[in-house]
């Protein structure tokens, strides 16, 4: 089992920034892909970004390229999502996920955190 705990969400004005964190514990060595997904009210959960835990390769959804950056601190088993130039449409619950292959597909990720709310509003 892998446990994931997100933090860092909150209320921010349009154009602002937030940094999300996700601390992983448990059998973290069994997974090699970690990602961020989000779910807005009334919408399906969607892929945001993912990173190869060992190699560092990344993948992003088109709508966040150039604005969001995914990174990890392997020593601290922590995943990050730096979000800049935030827009109201970025408002959602953001979830951390762990799996085996970097793919923008929900079903590829076996472990999920509880989510952290991000609200972009003036």
pLDDT at residue 41, as a whole number: 92
Please check whether residue 2 is in contact with residue 77, taking contact to mean a CB–CB distance below 8 angstroms: no
pLDDT at 38 over 80: yes
pLDDT at 28 over 90: no
pLDDT at residue 112, as a whole number: 97
Model pLDDT for residues 62-83, shown as the tens digit of each residue: 999 999 999 999 999 999 999 9
pLDDT at residue 69, as a whole number: 97
Please check whether residue 35 is in contact with residue 50, taking contact to mean a CB–CB distance below 8 angstroms: yes
Residue 85 DSSP class: S
State how far the Cα of 47 lies from the Cα of 97, in Å rounded to an integer: 10
pLDDT at residue 27, as a whole number: 81
Two structure tokens written together for 59: 């993948």
pLDDT at 118 over 90: yes
């Amino acid at each position: 089992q892998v446990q994931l705990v997100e933090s860092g969400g909150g209320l921010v004005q349009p154009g602002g920034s937030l940094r999300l964190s996700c601390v992983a514990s448990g059998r973290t060595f069994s997974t090699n892909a970690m990602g961020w997904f989000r779910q807005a009210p009334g919408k399906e959960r969607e892929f945001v970004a993912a990173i190869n835990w060992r190699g560092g390769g990344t993948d992003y959804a088109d709508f966040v390229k150039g604005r969001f950056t995914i990174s990890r601190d392997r020593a601290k088993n922590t995943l990050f999502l730096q979000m800049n130039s935030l827009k109201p449409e970025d408002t959602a619950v953001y979830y951390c996920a762990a799996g085996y292959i970097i793919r923008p597909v929900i079903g590829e990720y076996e472990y999920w955190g509880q989510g952290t709310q991000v609200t972009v509003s003036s």
